[in-house]
């Protein structure tokens, strides 16, 4: 029976702080004080310090002179850039997935797609969005491109606060479902070119939906000015 290695204190600190940021328990702009985080998570300050340095490299934390570390805020313009970078990397991953996918892996993708359809028909857009993420993750696993997977994971983490905004754009969920269906069909057919193009088009449309959501937010009157 294989021995499961226990994570080090530094690894635990990294995972706990990262998850708190992604779950918005730690908000953009919030100061990250080593002593407070160490007490909160029951870990040593040295482990917290190392974790914050790693999270800064990933773009989730910002360190400034005289202010220390804070949760880095990502605006709409940068969020769109992140999606554009993801599009390039995930289209590569889709190409690899189309090359490598086994019949069993294709069935798993089709099952996720069916569950997405059911969530859409039930009006559960949040549930559909979660399955969307599961489908993208499964494609990465099938692709087996470790470098792309590592970079994509970092980009997704930076963009997590914006990922649910696009589902509120009218008609976006229906179009997203069709885009994912084209990706899965291309992977099932082992058509590398179509799979790559379908993924590129999908994430380009997500970026456009985010632009629309941001423009809609800007057009709303400010209650303080009303």
Q: What pLDDT, in 10s, does the model give residues 65-74?
A: 888 899 988 8
Q: How far apart are CA 100 and CA 27, in angstroms?
A: 40
To the question of domain 10-71 being in CATH 1.20.1440.230, the answer is no
- Chain segment 48-81, per-residue pLDDT in tens: 999 999 999 888 899 988 888 999 888 888 888 9
pLDDT at 21 over 50: yes
Query: With 0-12 CB in 10 A as exposed, 13-18 as middle and 19+ as buried, what is 31?
Result: exposed
CATH of 76-219, one of 3.40.1190.20, 1.20.120.530, 1.10.579.10, 3.40.50.150: 1.20.120.530
Q: How far apart are CA 156 and CA 159, in angstroms?
A: 5
Nearest to 134 by CA among 174, 180, 98, 85: 180
What's 90's DSSP letter?
H
Q: In which residue ranges of the chain is CATH 1.10.10.10 found?
A: 10-71
Cα(first)–Cα(last) distance of the chain, in Å?
A: 67
Question: The pTM is what?
Answer: 0.76
Mean pLDDT value across the chain: 88
What's 181's DSSP letter?
H
CB neighbour list of residue 30: distance below 8 Å, 6 or more residues apart: 70, 71
Give the pair of three-digit tokens for residue 217: 């937010």
Q: In which residue ranges of the chain is CATH 1.20.120.530 found?
A: 76-219
Residues 39-64 as b or e (16 or more Cβ within 10 Å = b): eebebeeebbebbbebbeebbbbbee
The pLDDT of residue 138 is 97
Question: Residue 23: which pLDDT band, with cuts at 50, 70 and 90?
Answer: confident
Which residues on neighbouring strands pair with residue 62, listed in sequence order?
70
């Amino acid at each position: 029976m294989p021995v499961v290695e226990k994570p080090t204190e530094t690894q635990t600190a990294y995972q706990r702080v990262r998850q708190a940021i992604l779950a918005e328990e730690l908000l953009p702009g919030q100061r990250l004080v080593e002593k407070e985080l160490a007490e909160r998570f029951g870990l040593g300050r040295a482990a917290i310090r190392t974790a914050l340095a790693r999270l800064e490299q990933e773009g989730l934390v910002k360190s400034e002179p005289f202010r220390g570390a804070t949760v880095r805020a990502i605006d709409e313009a940068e969020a769109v850039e992140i999606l554009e970078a993801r599009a390039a990397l995930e289209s590569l991953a889709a190409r690899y997935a189309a090359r490598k996918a086994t019949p069993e892996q294709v069935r798993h993708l089709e099952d996720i797609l069916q569950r997405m359809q059911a969530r859409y028909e039930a009006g559960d857009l949040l549930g559909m969005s979660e399955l969307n993420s599961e489908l993208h993750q499964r494609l990465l696993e099938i692709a087996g491109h470790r470098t792309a997977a590592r970079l994509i994971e970092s980009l997704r983490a930076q963009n997590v606060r914006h990922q649910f905004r696009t589902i509120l754009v009218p008609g976006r969920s229906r179009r997203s479902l069709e885009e994912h269906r084209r990706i899965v069909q291309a992977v099932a057919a082992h058509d590398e070119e179509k799979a790559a193009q379908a993924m590129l088009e999908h994430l380009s449309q997500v970026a456009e939906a985010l632009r629309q959501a941001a423009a809609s937010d800007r057009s709303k009157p400010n209650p303080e000015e009303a």
